[in-house]
Amino acid sequence: MKLYDDRDPAPNPRRVRIFLREKGLEIPLVNVPLAEGRHKAPEFLAKNSLGQLPVLELDDGTTLSESVSICRYLEALHPEPPLFGRDPAESARIDMWIRRVEFRVMQPAGMIWVHLHPFTAAYAASQGRAQFKDFGESNWKVFAGACRWLDREIAGHEFVAGDRYSMADIVLQTTVDFGAAIGIDLPADCAKLAGWYERVRARPSAALDLSRFPVEQARKALGR
């Protein structure tokens, strides 16, 4: 088994690395530098026709993509500690929260990144793709609204899906960390969410050293 992977702060590969550390698992990593476009090379497209990281290659040569699906597979092989739930109700609740974080919080942050961020403008142009700035701008409000909703939902819970750390925390943390690295910060009035963020960042599996990224430059470029 090996994992095709890239460095921080790309959120999807990072989800699997955090998951592996929480599980105490080691899998050989193969670096596919996104910045060099190596994920769009023919030999990589043969592993994932979407040209995205991460990809898990099994010992029979078949491949599996989508970070959450890869982690789900690893959980089935190595159930302890459970990060996708201990019983049907808890598992469904964690799954629901993974989806809510992806569709509600990650989605508008991604739209700001793709349609508004100066760091992605050249890449969009190289793909013959426009950045729709007005649409991008509209996502600030959507993102802030989603964070405030989450702030209310997380009140009284230690973690996203309840009182146990789970895959939903990994999905949210990699989103918030990625946002922080590219200049998309949590709204200042989300105290419960900020408390949760401190709790997950304190875990040995999951620290992201934001000083490694040009955060101030990104914020300025976004006009924040």
d(CA 32, CA 19): 19
Q: What DSSP character marks residue 212?
A: G
d(CA 197, CA 199): 5
d(CA 139, CA 116): 9
Tell me which residue of 86, 87, 109 sits closest to 183, measured CA to CA.
109
DSSP code per residue over 48-82: -TT--S-EEEPTTS-EEE-HHHHHHHHHHH--SS-
Minimum CB–partner distance for residue 211 and its own copies (Å): 32
Minimum CB–partner distance for residue 198 and its own copies (Å): 24
Minimum CB–partner distance for residue 185 and its own copies (Å): 23
Minimum CB–partner distance for residue 87 and its own copies (Å): 8
Minimum CB distance to its own copies smaller for 72 or for 219? 72
Minimum CB–partner distance for residue 110 and its own copies (Å): 10
Minimum CB distance to its own copies smaller for 76 or for 202? 76
Minimum CB–partner distance for residue 197 and its own copies (Å): 20
Minimum CB distance to its own copies smaller for 50 or for 191? 50
d(CA 9, CA 181): 7
C-beta separation of 173 from 206 below 8 A: yes
Minimum CB distance to its own copies smaller for 167 or for 180? 167
Sign of torsion, CA 37 39 44 45? negative
Minimum CB distance to its own copies smaller for 187 or for 201? 187
Interface with its own copies (CB under 8 A): 49-50, 58, 62, 64-66, 68-70, 72-73, 76-77, 88-89, 91-93, 95-96, 99-100, 104, 115, 129-130, 132, 134-135, 138, 149, 152-153
Minimum CB distance to its own copies smaller for 84 or for 197? 84
Minimum CB–partner distance for residue 71 and its own copies (Å): 9
Cis peptide before 9 (omega within 30 of 0): yes
Tell me which residue of 42, 39, 46, 79 sits closest to 62, measured CA to CA.
46
Minimum CB distance to its own copies smaller for 154 or for 222? 154
